[in-house]
Amino acid sequence: MVSSDSRIVVTGGAGFLGKVVQRTLRERGYRHILVPTIEDFDLRREADIRRMYADMQPDVVIHLAAVVGGIGANRENPGKFFYENAIMGIQLIELGRQAGLKKMVVIGTICAYPKFAPVPFREDDLWSGYPEETNAPYGVAKKALLVQLQAYREQYGMHGVFLLPVNLYGPGDNFDPATSHVIPALIRKCVDAKRSGAKEIVVWGDGSATREFIYVDDAAEGIVLATERYDDPEPVNIGVGFEITIRDLVDLIIRLTGYEGKVVWDATKPNGQPRRMLDVRRAKERFGFTPKIKFEEGLRRTIDWYEGKMQHGGEMS
């Protein structure tokens, strides 16, 4: 179904994860990798999606494009995050079906899991409750695409798979304080405070929540392996299978950045989901995915990248 001659469209291919997915595909010998940029194709608009399918004529679509952000951005834009993520995916899948697409790989989100899902999160627990409130609109919009893929497989025989990656991090991440996730936000706070001589940094919540993180190169490898080897209706977690408290994460980033100031915890701000850790057995069993980069090594690479960007006058906005 997927070969080196396949025409593969990567939506969101110019983004943080998309660039690494592109590189991984090239390294594995794929020659026809196509990226619809938002300047040319606004994937929230049906006409643009139709034109993208007509112009690019893909055999496979890997749908990475999403409107995303941290807790703050989710709280400020619940309607936008629901509508834009839902409409993009629903139309891409339907118009892909009409175009005779051979395979659709949709990237979901860990935010789709219930707020109090048993830890580690098993794919079978996806429907056992409502997601954590601050990111539920985003999570539910993405989860709807899983239902669509399963329905289309049943009715039309469409080959669609749904992947659930845990929180990503790595070089090239989004370090904009208004929209960044926790690791780039903390790295920026510590590195910038060290450079400016600030005596304290403020961190949201009380530090008790746990999170799991996967290095971007590992996530891209998992996505490409699933594109090549997986074709079943059940969703699959893409993760590492460990958890760390936000408090311990802050301590680790402080040590790796050399920041020596004080941490102030703003407990008036939400923690988000209490715990997050994935059961990652299905990805290993179904398509042989095992992550390679150890967490501390990945953090070092990410910090080095950000510090290098700052030293060379890079604008992080």
- Is the pLDDT reported for residue 78 higher than 50? yes
pLDDT tier at 317, thresholds 50, 70, 90: very low
Q: Does the annotation count 138 as an active-site position?
A: yes
Farthest CA pair distance, the chain: 61
Residue 162, pLDDT score: 98
Residue 311, pLDDT score: 81
The pLDDT tens digits for 93-119 are 999 999 999 999 999 999 899 999 999
Cα angle vertex 255, ends 174, 304, to 5°? 40
Residue 312, pLDDT score: 75
- Is the pLDDT reported for residue 81 higher than 50? yes
- Of 138, 152, 169, 306, the active-site residue reads 138
The pLDDT tens digits for 4-22 are 999 999 999 999 999 999 9
For residues 317 and 137, the model is more confident at 137
pLDDT tier at 314, thresholds 50, 70, 90: low
Question: How confident is the prediction for the chain on average, in pLDDT?
Answer: 94
Tell me what percent of the residues of the chain surpass a pLDDT of 70: 97
- Is the pLDDT reported for residue 132 higher than 70? yes
Lowest-pLDDT range, 4-13, 148-157, 180-189?
A: 180-189
Which of 93-102, 132-141, 169-178 ranks highest by mean pLDDT? 93-102
- Is the pLDDT reported for residue 190 higher than 60? yes
Residue 270, pLDDT score: 82
Tokens of 271: 């923690």
- Report the pLDDT averaged over residues 254-273: 92
The pLDDT tens digits for 209-258 are 999 999 999 999 999 999 999 999 999 999 999 999 999 999 999 999 99
Q: Which residues contact 112 (CB under 8 A, 6 or more apart)?
A: 126, 131, 139, 140, 142, 143, 146, 164
pLDDT tier at 53, thresholds 50, 70, 90: very high
Q: Which spans in 215-278 are helix H?
A: 216-229, 246-257
Structural domains of the chain ordered from first start: 7-169+215-241+275-293 (3.40.50.720)
The C-alpha atoms of residue 184 and residue 174 are separated, in whole angstroms, by 7
- Is the pLDDT reported for residue 278 higher than 60? yes
- The pTM of the full predicted model, rounded to 2 decimals, is 0.93
- Residue of 205, 111, 204 whose CA lies nearest to 165: 111
- End-to-end Cα separation, the chain, in angstroms: 42
Which of 159-173, 267-281, 300-314 ranks highest by mean pLDDT? 159-173
